[in-house]
Amino acid sequence: MAKVTGASDSGAWSRSAQIRPALYYSVFAFIFVLLTASFSPAQESRPTESQVEAAYLYNFGKFVTFPSSRAANSDPFSICILGKDPFGEALDATVRGESINGKKITVQRLVNMQHAETCSILFVSSSEESHLPAIVAPAKTLSLLTVSDMKGFAERGGIIQLVRQQDRIRFEVNLAVAQESHLTLSSELLKVAVRVVQKGTQ
């Protein structure tokens, strides 16, 4: 967000606030989910872990810029799950009727990387851990935003790793791999991350 250093900046701040209200709203909503989502069997009103992770996947798409050559404007924004699906109906329900950058969001379940080129976000299930090197390499070539709750994912070539801290789901970001994948992550997303890794896959 802009830093106000004097009276001359006030006009720029005002114009920025008028131009980007939707982005600011998304940031604040995202932070609200991050800070308030916790899990307790005794509190049924709390979202489930799957629902919170699904909300993260949806929101991540708002804070990443993909290479313009990746997809035509008419293509849907696809969130793909590789391997065993941990979400059930939670992800479908989260993105139903939603869009990102004017693109309708679709959910795909993949058994391998063969059709991953149609994806924008790729969630790598922990069931695929033994195949991780063969996943992150083509994902980087395809400029996919890779996400997983797999232990050590951000250190092993993934971009965003969901982590559980004090009964809350948070996330780490490997900025170096994102850059290698030709993805631009919003500074607002990086501010909310609990850790930013600068370790490439080369």
Residue 165 has what pLDDT? 87
Q: How many residues does the chain have?
A: 202
Helix axis angle for 21-36 and 10-19, nearest 10°, is 80
Rounded distance between C-alpha atoms, residue 86 and residue 98, angstroms: 21
CB 98 within 8 A of CB 45: no
Rounded distance between C-alpha atoms, residue 196 and residue 89, angstroms: 30
* Strand spans (E) along the chain: 64-65, 77-82, 99-100, 103-110, 121-124, 145-148, 160-165, 168-174, 184-185, 195-197
CB 117 within 8 A of CB 92: no
Please enumerate in sequence order all residues whose Cβ is within 8 A of that of 155, keeping only pairs 6 or more positions apart, or say none. Answer: 174, 197, 199
For residue 171, the SS3 value is strand
Burial class (CB in 10 A: 0-12, 13-18, 19+), 32: exposed
Task: Show pLDDT as tens, one digit a residue, over the chain (202 residues).
Answer: 333 334 434 343 334 444 344 544 455 455 545 544 444 444 556 788 899 999 999 999 999 999 987 654 447 899 999 999 999 999 999 999 999 988 999 999 999 999 899 999 999 999 999 999 999 999 999 999 999 999 999 999 999 999 998 888 999 999 999 999 999 999 989 999 999 998 766 5
CB 159 within 8 A of CB 174: yes
Domains and CATH numbers, the chain: 7-197 (3.40.50.2300)
Residue 44 has what pLDDT? 56
| pTM for the predicted model, two decimal places | 0.79
Rounded distance between C-alpha atoms, residue 196 and residue 29, angstroms: 21
Long-range Cβ pairs for the range 95-102 (8 Å, 24+): 95/54, 95/58, 98/58, 100/61, 100/62, 101/77, 102/73
Residue 45 has what pLDDT? 64
Q: Which of 181, 178, 47, 201 is nearest to 193 (CA)?
A: 178
Residue 47 has what pLDDT? 83
